[in-house]
Amino acid sequence: MIRLEAISKEYSLGDVKIRALDDIFLEIKRGEFLSVMGPSGSGKSTLLNILGVLDQPTGGAYYLENVDITELRDRELARIRNRHFGFIFQSYNLFPELSALENVMVPLIYAGKTKKDRSKRARMLLEEVEMGHRLHHFPNQLSGGEQQRVAIARALANNPALILADEPTGNLASEQSKEIMGLLQGLNSEGTTVVIVTHDPRISAYGKRVVELKDGGIISDQLIVFNSYGGAGSAEENAP
């Protein structure tokens, strides 16, 4: 589904060059549940942004369905983001002036759906994440867990092949975290590819594969042989 070859990313901080990613080789297969681990500053979020075409690499090639998308124009990249990816963020990123229903409808506007179809799809998704009773509530009227459920519904609006989640439980209590990760596990069991970024080993254990970053490079890539999460699993080295 995705293949990264020698991906690097540099930022300029005054006269200093910061290398956020260094020579990343990574393949993600359709249907995987991949956890990306690492300390703050290891390059986790940068990698996720490049996977979701929210940022462009400085060097290397990014193949999506065997097509190199590295050199595509912004308009084409925007189309790819809308059609292929669903995003979930630690801070939910909901529009405060929009209701839960209206927030979920936003991606469908960019997809060119009619108002009737947008409303029908958004209502169905909110029902699926058990938020059908909160359709017309605004983000400031919802708990953190409820806001994240709305964010998941919004991420699913255009039926993406890949969900990208950046610390999706970072602002949630333990029980809410379990509920959100259970939702992501359920999506994965139905065939959706899931990639999450986390610094928490308890959250990474929900994945079927764990990639660990340090100083912008992959230092470990392991398949989870047994995963009962909740419960730790054993792992076997897959790469690098």
Q: What are phi and psi of 90, to 5 degrees?
A: -60, -40
Domain ranges of the chain: 2-239
pLDDT of residue 232: 45
pLDDT of residue 238: 53
Burial 170-209 (b: 16+ CB within 10 A, else e): bbbeeebbbbbbebbbebbeeebbbbbbbeeeebbbbbbb
pTM of the entire structure?
A: 0.90
pLDDT of residue 240: 45
**CATH number of 2-239: 3.40.50.2300, 3.40.50.300, 1.10.620.20, 2.60.120.10?**
3.40.50.300
Average pLDDT per consecutive 10 residues, the chain (240 residues; last block may be shorter): 97 89 97 95 95 95 94 90 93 97 95 94 96 97 97 96 95 94 95 95 94 96 69 50
Q: Return the SS3 of 141.
A: helix
Is 27:3 a contact under the CB 8 Å cutoff? yes
Is 197:46 a contact under the CB 8 Å cutoff? no
